[in-house]
Amino acid sequence: MKFGGTSVANVERIKNVAQHVKREVAAGYDVAVVVSAMSGKTNELVAWCNEASPLYDQREYDTIVASGEQVTSGLLALTLSSIGIKARSWQGWQVPIETSAAHGSARISAIPSKNLDDGFAAGEVAVISGFQGIEPLSGRITTLGRGGSDTSAVAIAGAIGAERCDIYTDVDGVYTTDPRIVPKAQRMDRIAFEEMLEMASLGAKVLQVRSVELAMVHKVKTYVRSSFDDPENPNPGTLICDEEDIMEQQVVTGIAYSKDEAQITLRDVADRPGVAAAIFVPLADANINVDMIVQNISADGASTDITFTVPQAEFQRAKDVIEKARKDVVCDNVETNMDVSKISVIGIGMRSHAGVAATCFQALAGRGINIRAITTSEIKISVLIDAAYTELAVRTLHTLYGLDKA
């Protein structure tokens, strides 16, 4: 069971979480609980780091920001004990959750389960601080990046051979799109790992991308549920599972969107071998994630326009990298636009149905929405549009593919 920041925002909410845990213990399960920091605490700790030293040591940063989860795990263990449930808190280094040395964005390398198994044998609920681990060689505390508690939970579920992993949040499942934009959005009973991976990476904020990757690789059945449900009678939530576990697959499962996009266009680039590498290798070396890429060849074949997108948070760095690369890339000028958004249509059923892209483009054109760039995969179509049309595009496509109906 994993509980996010809003689920443990204060002691009253932690007492509610304890009732959810009590229900599963009463059902006869050995229970491991992964907790996030209280809502807003990590931001407060990050602000303190910046105040103390804007050019902080990433290792000490991890030590500081990991403390938020430590408080929550102790409070939940205390609360469980007060209602007669044997429990103990575990920090990442105590489990141990072993990770790489990439402080601030470490990856889990191994989770020996002996300590947790011994605790289960003693009848204890394991309350584990999420988001954190330990780098074995240095013995330093590491953190897994924002949303890392989801990853902690799925990895621990895989390590202990859990029957399932329940991710509790402030929504009662995965919806066909954002219900704040489309009131008719429907909660899905099931969604395939591949679809959830696309939705998470394309803007849906329900789960961290790496947690879905881990669940898919280790075949961990994962539920998204609401901690705000009645602990005695909770809703089942949405099951994220193998494609084979879904009886009938819709053509389109969901519509995702992201406003966190910035567009960069290089005009009249000299069209010769190595130009693309001269642009994108420096961006990769700077750890800037490039998403959509569109290249247009001019009529004379001598020049080309190259358009690509980066996250808004990386926009200024990407622009600086491109300016430095211009000594190797001959181009007329560089145009930028931060007022764009990405809309994505996702569904495993698209593999076996033709015309999904055509109907998408036709519907957007009918609403007067211009498409700036397009990327596709087997199970998704993404289009880049002007940000002002985001909500109209999401509503249009949600209705087009029949997702308004239960």
What pLDDT does residue 388 have? 95
* The pair of three-digit structure tokens given for residue 173, joined into one six-digit string: 């499942």
**Which amino acid would we find at residue 216?**
M
| Residue 330: CB atoms within 10 Å | 14
Q: Give a yes or no: residue 405 inside a domain.
A: no
Does the annotation list 180 as a binding residue?
A: yes
- Which of 217, 244, 271 delimits the end of a domain? 244
347: in domain:
yes
- Pair 202, 274 in one domain: no
Whether 249 is covered by a domain: the verdict is no
170 in a known ligand binding site: yes
- DSSP class of residue 312 equals G
CATH classification of the domain holding 19: 3.40.1160.10
Q: Say yes or no: 322 and 209 in one domain.
A: no
**Same domain as 126, residue 23:** yes
Same domain assignment for residues 42 and 141: yes
Residues constituting the chain: 406
Same domain, 235 and 263: no
Sites in the chain below the pLDDT cut of 70 = 203, 247-248, 298-299, 406
Distance CA 375, CA 224 (A): 28
Co-location of 381 and 276 in the same domain = yes
**pLDDT, position 327:** 78
At residue 406, the pLDDT reads: 59
- Per-residue pLDDT tens digits for 290-301: 988 988 776 677
| Amino acid symbol at 254 | G
Q: Tell me whether residue 3 is annotated as binding.
A: yes
Q: Is residue 131 part of a domain?
A: yes
Q: Is 140 annotated as a binding residue?
A: no
| 175 annotated to a ligand binding site | yes
What CATH number does the domain containing 345 carry?
3.30.2130.10
Shared-domain flag, residues 327 and 213:
no
Task: Please report whether residue 154 resides in a domain.
Answer: yes
Read off the tokens for 327: 């000594």
What's the structural domain count of the chain? 2
* Same domain assignment for residues 179 and 262: no
The annotation status of 168 as a binding-site residue, yes or no, is no
Burial class (CB in 10 A: 0-12, 13-18, 19+), 202: buried
Domain enclosing residue 39, as ranges? 2-244
pLDDT of residue 171: 86
Helix (H, G, I), strand (E, B) or coil at 372: coil
**Contact (CB, 8 A) for 210 and 218:** no
Residue 299: per-residue pLDDT? 67
29 in a known ligand binding site:
no
- Are 140 and 14 contained in the same domain? yes
Contact 308, 292 (CB under 8 A): yes
CA-angle at 76, arms to 60 and 241, nearest 5°: 85
Whether residue 406 is contained in a domain is answered as no
Both 281 and 140 in a single domain?
A: no
Shared-domain flag, residues 171 and 78: yes
User: Residue 125, annotated ligand binder?
Assistant: no
Last residue in a domain, options 244, 270, 291:
244
Domain presence at residue 76 = yes
328 assigned to a ligand binding site: no
Same domain, 275 and 178: no
Q: Is 6 annotated as a binding residue?
A: no
Last residue of a domain, one of 244, 275, 293: 244
